[in-house]
Amino acid sequence: MLKQGSALDRYFKISERGSNFSREIRGGFATFFAMSYIVVLNPLILSVADSSGATLGFPAVAAVTAFVAGILTILMGAWAKHPFAMATGLGVNAFVAVTVATNPGLTWPDMMGLVVLSGVTMLILVLTGFRTAVFKAVPDGLKTAIVVGIGLFIALIGLVNAGFVRRIPDAAGTTVPVGLGFDGKLLGWPTLVFVFGLILTIALVVRKVRGAILIGIVASTVLAVILEFTLHIGPSFSPGKPFNPQGWSLVAPTFTEWAAPDLSLIGKANPIGAFEHLGFVAATLLAFVILLSIFFDAMGTMVGLANEAGTVDKDGNIPDVDRVLQIDALGAIVGGGASVSSNQIYVESGAGIGEGARTGLASIVTGLLFLVAMFFTPLINLVPFEAVAPALVVVGFLMVSQVGKIDWQDWGIGIPAFLTFSLMPFTYSIANGLGAGFIAYVLIRTFQGRARDVHPLMWAVAAAFLLFFAVGPIEQALGIH
């Protein structure tokens, strides 16, 4: 069954894409380890109480986060046949949490209902072909910039997750936003784990060792577990305790007690609640912001990962792109309906692609691991950020290496490309980078007297992004808080 030319091989086009079963399995594991932190992080982000004082509950959010990620990732692998894993999107869940916390009268079911409506709208745009048409209207130079931007973004995520790069507190009295380690110094054993993992992974990749990224993750995790169990380092953030700069970034390698998964949050969303409590204009504006974010975040991530995987054809098209976008739209509907926020394609899928994954079989492996994770959260807690961050940095390098494909002599492409790949990491948002790049492309082509070269859909997308960036002033003008 697991042989070249078998039915499974033909279905996923494993040999056709230059891969094999062992690579796909290793890639599935690497992607899971690289993004498993979301099972812990999402409950923390969605932990605020709504206007009624109700919370979603940490155990329930963790279980449903793993469950939904597992189901959607398996669907992505089986239906779209790409090595793209899905889970709760960090940008949207943070927006959802802040909105719930700052809007009197808004409850968790109301807000998740808006996520569902945004997903339904997205699915309609996919089924009508609009979203695919927008993807095809993007110039090749900007598509390359998206790859580079995601590479920089994923590397920054790795550096920040490892504590190697940290935000400098406002109280420090400096205008420098980020710096090396804590107060300009590298401190603590967790940092050593990251450095060890980065050096090991680079060495293995340079030597072209099979399974280099996965070996780096496993070796770093083993070192982390040994250090934690012998030195009792603990996490950086603990309830009721001061910040520990020498602790683990979020997950301290440890075992926790087993508990049956709580899936009671599924089906709790209320699609009309926000309109009843906030009014039509305010609720529609919130839904629009969510819609634009999930629309372009996924498109940018998909382009970057497909280019890195080498699955883009000579015309710049991604095979079965409609299926990828359908599952992505379904991610918003299912994620909102399950009260864990919109699910989307994860940039950490690049860890599996860097390991050699090229097909949907890797996604099925990742999805199954998420489903298993519902029952074995202690295993997730064994892998700290510091152990997977080196993989993200190395994959970031591989993606950024494509920057030479951009035509820097054409400023109509060069400047928008620069804005695209610089603002993604600098604003911690793929959508922001895309918006700045698209708007700049339309404007500069117009300044060059080449407005006719701009695809009509690019004008529409640029206008939508102008509205997206103007949401703050619009809310102030309408008295919406």
How does pLDDT run across 295-310, given as a tens digit for each residue?
777 777 888 899 889 9
In whole angstroms, what is the distance from residue 326 CA to residue 67 CA? 19
Q: Please say if the pLDDT value at position 262 is more than 60.
A: yes
Taking Cα atoms as reference points, which of 284, 187, 305, 199 lies closest to residue 243? 187
Q: How far is CA 61 from CA 57, 65, 85, in A?
A: 6, 6, 19
pLDDT of residue 254 exceeding 60, the answer is yes
From residue 171, alpha-carbon distances to 238, 240, 246, 383 in Å are 21, 21, 20, 32
pLDDT digits (tens, 9 = 90+) for 234-244: 888 776 778 88
173 pLDDT band, cuts 50/70/90, is low
User: Residue 96's closest CA among 134, 145, 47, 46?
Assistant: 46
- Please say whether the beta carbons of 197 and 216 come within 8 A: yes
Q: Give percent of the chain above pLDDT 90.
A: 46
Q: Token pair of 298, please?
A: 């996924």
pTM here is 0.79
DSSP 3-state assignment of 208? coil
Supply 145's token pair. Answer: 């910039």
Quick one: pLDDT at residue 289? 78
Q: What pLDDT is attached to residue 21? A: 93
Is residue 420 a contact partner of residue 437, using CB atoms and an 8 Å limit?
yes
Mean pLDDT of 78-104: 86
Residue 1 pLDDT more than 60? no
Cβ-contact 295, 125 below 8 angstroms: yes
Long-range contacts of 278-287 (CB under 8 A, 24+ apart): 278/103, 278/105, 278/106, 278/110, 278/480, 281/478, 281/480, 282/478, 282/480, 283/114, 285/471, 285/474, 285/475, 285/478, 285/480, 286/99, 286/111, 286/114, 287/114, 287/117, 287/118, 287/121
Which of 33, 2, 36 lies closest to 19 in space, CA to CA?
Answer: 2
DSSP state for residue 271 in the 8-state scheme: T
Query: Residue 377: its pLDDT value, please?
Result: 60
Would residue 339 be called left, alpha or beta, if left means φ above 0 and alpha means ψ between -120 and 50 degrees?
left
For residue 38, the Cα-to-chain-centroid distance in whole angstroms is: 10
Total Cβ atoms within 10 A of residue 128: 10
